[in-house]
């Protein structure tokens, strides 16, 4: 991009980047109103249309001092679109939109004040990825910070919500707070009042944002991660488990392994946690404590696999009091409001068979009259109201089947798969720990329920077959390539191509 070195100009140029429905138009109108009531000639325009439907829109405002125009007895010629390198203020309602402004050259270090929210509204490409398709927010912030003369940023969606208002009011507050426009706070507030719609919450959000902008320090964002380990517990059974973690694993892994132990107990019982530690110990014994990455990833994925989502687990999680509270919180129901929670479930005959003791489950999977009868009753999904007595007791009794989980068909199936996977990891580790690391991460392919699970498992098998066939010839990077390909699309086309590319078909 060829940046301009524009000469001094009395025209104030403001670009607003917003997505449909975020009030970018309202903000532009506010700025126009603010200017016109305070001795400025204002012009704004935009290109609405399909952009209203979730797309991004640029609103552009120019302000010119009325006084200078009268002195010259002329009207200024104002532009209808922002010019890269020639914008004073950029307001972006979301972080990627700030990135877009930078990309289009509207933000330049010589003059542009950039005001943006740090929250993300994910793009469809980020959302529909089969794994993690998110763009790194820090990267966007770094680019924006580098491009702007001054960069004011905080989570404005949060600020809007906290004040029961919308993001346009927060942006307006931040604009006032930066002091880049020649108007005082009162002039801004009068503009909001003249609008006449939702004045109180808008003023509240405006005020909060004004204060945040003026405060120099930025709010610290917390990052979720592994909780710190608390080594002292009352229960002797637990004490014993924690002792094992401490002795058998390098310190770097303690957090992850303890999390795994916690998960096993929550999922099944203390004995199950012991099995988890036994399995990990077998690996540690064979590869040594120095292979940190391999051990950590195996500890993580083993815990996830051993706590596979069966009907018992789902029923257990759905009926917990903590879950009821979380839903109340998430849907923002107040204490005065009542809440009904309805689950969308689709138990197929496969799930029913897998929840039964293995011999009965295997028998029921065979095509005979009973199978057909049950299949007929499970063709459509069911809505279960967990908050009603009937629905709750139904799910609660399913969750009680935890005691007999080890006898279920699903347990037998998963247990065999886990053993096979661990064997492969261990075998690979013997000659190439890096390959073993890639192998351990292949568990990521197996996730979800019913069709999604079947698809993931099929992909996993194809990858594992390739690993088995290749043995020591398989390069870790090749395996990673295959795994990424398996996550690239739903139809396995990318995996087909990747297998062909590496001549592994």
Partner 1 sequence: MAERSFVEEVEKLRLDEGEVFSGEGILAVTKALLESGVAYIAGYQGAPISHLMDVLADAKDILTDHGIRFENSASEATAAASLAASVNYPLRGAVTFKATVGTNVASDALANLASGGVTGGALIIVGEDYGEGSSIMQERSHAFAMKSQMWMLDPRPNLPCIVQAVKDGFDLSEASNTPVMLQLRIRSCHVHGQFVTSRNRRSAMSIEDALNNPVRDVERIVLPPASFLHEHEKIARRWPAAVEFIEKRELNEFFDGDMQDIGLVVQGGGYNTLIRALELLGLADVFGESRIPLYVMNVAYPLIDSEWQRFCSDKRAVLILEEGQPNFVEQNAANILRQAGSTVSLHGKDMLPLAGEYNTVTLLKGLRRFLEQYSKIAAEPVVPSVRKVIPLMQVNELQRPAPPAVVETVIEDSVHARPPGFCTGCPERPIFTAMKLLEREIGEHHVSADIGCHLFSILPPFNLGNTTMGYGLGGASASALNSATGKRAISVMGDGGFWHNGLTSGIANGVFNKSDNLTIVVDNSYTSATGGQDILSSTAHNAMRSTNHAIEDAVRGVGVKWVKTVKHTYDLKAMKNALKEALTTVTKGPKVVIAQSECMLNLQRREKQKVRKALADGKRVVRERFGIDSDTCTGDHSCIRLSGCPSLTIKPNPDPLRLDPVAAVLDSCVGCGLCGEVSHAAVLCPSFYRADIISNPNRMDKFRQGLRRSVIGFLQRRDAARRNRLAF
Q: Is 100 in the site for partner 1 (CB under 8 A)?
A: yes
Given 37, 263, 289, 412, the residue binding partner 1 (CB under 8 A): 263
Point out which span in 207-215, 326-334, 403-411, 459-467 binds partner 1 (CB under 8 A).
Answer: 326-334
* CA-based torsion, 376, 378, 380, 383: positive or negative: positive
Helix, coil or strand: residue 347: coil
User: For partner 1, which is the closer residue by CB, 32 or 277?
Assistant: 32
Q: Are strands 150-154 and 382-385 parallel, antiparallel or unpaired?
A: unpaired
What is the C-alpha radius of gyration for the chain, rounded to an integer number of angstroms? 30
User: For partner 1, which is the closer residue by CB, 270 or 504?
Assistant: 270
Point out which span in 93-101, 352-360, 414-422, 477-485 binds partner 1 (CB under 8 A).
Answer: 93-101
User: For partner 1, which is the closer residue by CB, 153 or 300?
Assistant: 300
d(C-alpha 250, C-alpha 261), whole Å? 16
Given 304, 401, 434, 458, the residue binding partner 1 (CB under 8 A): 304
Q: Is 200 in the site for partner 1 (CB under 8 A)?
A: no
Name residues contacting partner 1, limited to 453-492 (CB under 8 A). Answer: 456, 490
Q: Is 494 in the site for partner 1 (CB under 8 A)?
A: no
Query: Count of CB atoms within 10 A of residue 80's CB?
Result: 11
In whole angstroms, the minimum distance from the beta carbon of 473 to partner 1 comes to 29
Name residues contacting partner 1, limited to 209-238 (CB under 8 A). Answer: 224-227, 230, 233, 235, 238
Size of residue set near partner 1 by CB under 8 A: 133
Q: Is 417 in the site for partner 1 (CB under 8 A)?
A: no
The closest of 468, 458, 386, 455 to 424, measured between CA atoms, is 468
User: For partner 1, which is the closer residue by CB, 63 or 474?
Assistant: 63
Helix, coil or strand: residue 73: coil
User: For partner 1, which is the closer residue by CB, 417 or 502?
Assistant: 417
**Exposure pattern of 407-424 as b/e (b: 16+ CB <10 Å)?**
ebbbbbebeebbeebbeb
User: For partner 1, which is the closer residue by CB, 5 or 216?
Assistant: 5
User: For partner 1, which is the closer residue by CB, 210 or 460?
Assistant: 460
Tell me the CB-side half-sphere exposure of residue 409, using CA atoms within 13 A.
17
Name residues contacting partner 1, limited to 355-414 (CB under 8 A). Answer: 380-381, 383, 386-389, 392-393, 396
Q: Is 119 in the site for partner 1 (CB under 8 A)?
A: no
d(C-alpha 94, C-alpha 170), whole Å? 12
In this structure, what is the dihedral angle of CA atoms 358, 403, 309, 414, given to the nearest 10 degrees? -40
Given 216, 220, 247, 330, the residue binding partner 1 (CB under 8 A): 330
Element (H or E) spanning 414, and its range?
A: helix 409-431
Q: Is 7 in the site for partner 1 (CB under 8 A)?
A: yes
Helix, coil or strand: residue 91: strand
């Amino acid at each position: 991009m060829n940046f301009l070195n524009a000469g001094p100009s009395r025209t104030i140029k403001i670009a607003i980047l917003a997505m449909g429905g975020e009030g970018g138009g309202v903000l532009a109108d506010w700025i126009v109103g603010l200017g016109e009531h305070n001795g400025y000639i204002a012009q704004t325009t935009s290109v609405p249309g399909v952009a209203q439907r979730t797309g991004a829109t640029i609103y552009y405002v120019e302000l010119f001092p009325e006084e200078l125009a009268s002195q010259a007895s002329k009207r200024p010629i104002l532009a209808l679109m922002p010019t890269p390198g020639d914008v004073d203020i950029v307001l972006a309602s979301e972080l990627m939109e700030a990135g877009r402004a930078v990309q289009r050259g509207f933000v330049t270090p010589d003059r542009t004040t950039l005001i943006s929210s740090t929250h993300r509204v994910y793009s469809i490409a980020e959302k529909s990825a089969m794994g993690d398709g998110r763009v790194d927010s820090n990267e966007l912030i770094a680019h924006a910070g580098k491009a702007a003369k001054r960069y004011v940023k905080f989570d404005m969606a949060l600020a809007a919500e906290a004040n029961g208002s919308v993001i346009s009011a927060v942006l307006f507050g931040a604009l006032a707070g930066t002091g880049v426009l020649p108007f005082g706070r009162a002039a801004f507030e009068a503009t909001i009042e003249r609008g006449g719609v939702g004045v109180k919450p808008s003023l509240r959000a405006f005020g909060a944002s004004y204060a945040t902008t003026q405060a120099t320090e930025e709010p610290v964002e917390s990052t979720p991660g592994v909780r710190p380990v608390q080594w002292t517990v009352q229960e002797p059974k637990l004490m014993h488990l924690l002792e094992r973690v401490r002795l058998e694993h390098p310190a770097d892994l303690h957090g992850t392994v303890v999390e795994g132990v916690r998960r096993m107990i929550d999922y099944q019982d203390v004995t199950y946690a012991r099995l988890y530690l036994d399995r990990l110990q077998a690996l540690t014994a064979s590869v040594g404590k120095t292979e940190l990455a391999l051990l950590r990833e195996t500890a993580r994925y083993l815990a996830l696999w051993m706590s596979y989502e069966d009907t018992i687990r789902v029923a257990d999680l759905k009926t917990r009091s903590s879950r009821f509270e979380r839903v109340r919180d998430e849907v923002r129901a107040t204490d005065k409001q009542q809440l009904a929670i309805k689950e969308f479930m689709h138990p197929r005959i496969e799930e029913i068979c897998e929840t039964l003791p293995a011999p009965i489950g295997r028998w029921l999977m065979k095509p005979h009259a009973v199978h057909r009868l049950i299949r007929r009753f499970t063709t459509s999904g069911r809505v279960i109201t967990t908050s009603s007595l009937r629905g709750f007791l139904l799910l609660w009794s399913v969750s009680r089947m935890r005691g007999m989980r080890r006898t279920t068909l699903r347990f037998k199936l998963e247990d065999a798969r886990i053993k096979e996977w661990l064997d492969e990891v261990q075998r690979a580790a013997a000659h190439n720990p890096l390959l073993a690391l890639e192998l351990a991460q292949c568990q990521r392919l197996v996730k979800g329920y019913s069709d999604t699970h079947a698809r993931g498992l099929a992909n996993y098998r194809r990858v594992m077959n390739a690993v088995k066939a290749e043995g020591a010839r398989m390069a870790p990077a090749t395996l990673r390539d295959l795994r990424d390909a398996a996550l690239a699309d739903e139809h396995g086309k990318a995996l087909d191509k990747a297998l062909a590319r590496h001549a592994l078909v």
